[in-house]
Homo-oligomer: A and B are copies of this chain.
Amino acid sequence: MKKITIEDIAKEAHVSIKTVSRVFNHEPNVRDNTRDRVLAVAEAMNYRPNLSARSLASNKSFIIVHFHDNPNPDYLDRINQGLHKACRAAGYFSVNEPLPLTNGSYAALAATYLTSFHVDGALLSPPLSDDPALLAVLREKNVPYTRVSPQFEKRSSGATYIDDKAASLMMTNHLIELGHKNIAFIAGPSSHGSTIERTAGFLKALETAGLSVQNCPQYSGDFSFRSGLNAGQKIIESGHNVTAIFAANDEMAVGAMMAAMKAGLDIPKDMSIAGFDGSRIGDVLWPQLTTIRQPIRQLSERATDILLTSLRTSETDIICEELPVTLLARGSSSVPKISS
Which A residues contact B (CB, under 8 angstroms)?
1, 46, 48-53, 55-56, 61, 73-74, 76-78, 80-81, 84, 93-96, 98, 112, 115-118, 140, 225, 251, 254-255, 257-258, 261-262, 280-281, 283-286
Most-contacted residue by chain B among A52, A94, A286 (CB, 10 A):
A52
A93 touching B74, Cβ below 8 Å: no
Task: Indicate which residue in B53, B73, B257 contacts A76 across the interface (CB closer than 8 Å).
Answer: B73
B contact residues around A96 at 8 Å (CB):
80, 95-96
- Check if B73 sits within 8 Å of A115, measured CB to CB: no
Given A74-B74, A77-B77, also A117-B93 (CB < 8 A): yes
Cβ-defined contact, B84 with A98, below 8 A: yes
- Residue of A49, A73, A112, A261 contacting most chain B CB atoms (<10 Å): A73
Give A80 to B96 CA distance when docked, in angstroms: 10
Q: A93-B117, A116-B49 are in contact. Are A283 and B56 (CB under 8 A)?
A: no
Could you jot down 15 A-B contacts, CB within 8 Å?
A: A1-B140, A46-B115, A48-B116, A49-B116, A51-B116, A52-B118, A73-B73, A73-B78, A77-B77, A81-B98, A96-B96, A225-B283, A225-B284, A258-B284, A258-B285
Counting every copy of the chain, the complex holds 2
For residue A224, give the distance in angstroms from its CB to the closest CB of chain B.
10
B48 touches A112 (CB 8 A): yes
| Minimal Cβ-Cβ distance residue in B for A279 | B73
B50 touching A53 by the CB < 8 A rule?
Answer: no
Q: Kindly list chain B residues whose C-beta atoms are within 8 Å of the C-beta of A281.
A: 281, 284
Known: A48-B116, A50-B116, A286-B258. A93 touches B93 (CB 8 A): no
5 nearest interchain CB pairs? A73-B77, A52-B55, A48-B116, A48-B115, A52-B56
